[in-house]
Copies of this chain bind each other. A is one copy, B any other.
Amino acid sequence: MDKKLIAEARARLYSGVISDVLDGLGNMQHAMAPNVRPLDENLVLFGRARTGLYMPVYHVEPGINPYEHEIALVDDLKPDDVAVLACPPGNRIGPWGELLSTAARARGAAGAVTDGLARDVKLIREMRFPVFCGGIGPLDSKGRGMVMKIEVPVECGGVRVAPGDWIFGDIDGVCAIPAALAERTVTLALEKVAHENTVREELAAGELLRNVFARHQIL
């Protein structure tokens, strides 16, 4: 996707319209569960998914760097990439914090998404780096979980994300857009946004919903 379309998506789109367009294209399974929330509701995230997959562990294995694959993923982030870290259910693991945010931003990454927990929330907010997470907690992943695979398909927030898919996140939630549909989705969404403004004005002027819907088929 070219830089201009990326910039336009970040400036003008929102997750609701992305979601409607994906529905219209027959892709209904694209929205992460509602517990995956932005740390800062004012930030918009749009970028290419780079995935990491956690496994639960119950001890610190001697002689092993428990962060090995996680570090490799972050160090390899490219501009406009989004780190997507999928955790096992149960919310015991807090894989993302301020140091990883600092490192990822230094690589030009667009943000990070995890269905696990985040920590150092205050500092991440001060950085204005877009992080979406399944909750907040102080626990490090060491001795609790370990990234075992990177660059593989994962399920994050209940949605399949493959490396190269596109992630759109804002105050209303996070959508995963399959790579093959990404440009088309963004283009259609930009068109739809204009249309919704008309609908809003007609409703605000007091027209009945049934008439406005009959005219525009938008709700």
Contact = CB atoms under 8 A, between A and B. Distances in A.
A209 B75 contact: yes
A114 interface: no
Contact of A122 (B41, B149, B219): B41
A173 interface: yes
Contact of A206 (B90, B99, B106): B106
Nearest to A72: B210
A85 interface: no
Interface stretch (A2-10, A16-24, A179-187): A16-24
A173 B55 contact: no
A203 B120 contact: no
A152 interface: yes
Interface in A126-150: 135-140, 142-144, 148-149
A95 to B, nearest CB: 10
Contact of A37 (B58, B136, B154): B136
B88 A200 contact: no
A32 to B, nearest CB: 8
Contact of A99 (B56, B119, B199): B199
A150 to B, nearest CB: 12
Contacts of A89: 88-90
A142 to B, nearest CB: 7
Interface of A: 14-16, 18-20, 23, 28, 31, 33-35, 37, 41, 53-59, 61, 65, 67, 70-72, 74-75, 88-91, 97-100, 102-103, 106, 117, 119-122, 135-140, 142-144, 148-149, 152-155, 160, 171-173, 175, 196, 199-200, 203-210, 212-213, 218-219
9 contacts: A16-B140, A23-B142, A72-B210, A74-B209, A88-B90, A89-B90, A100-B219, A106-B204, A122-B171
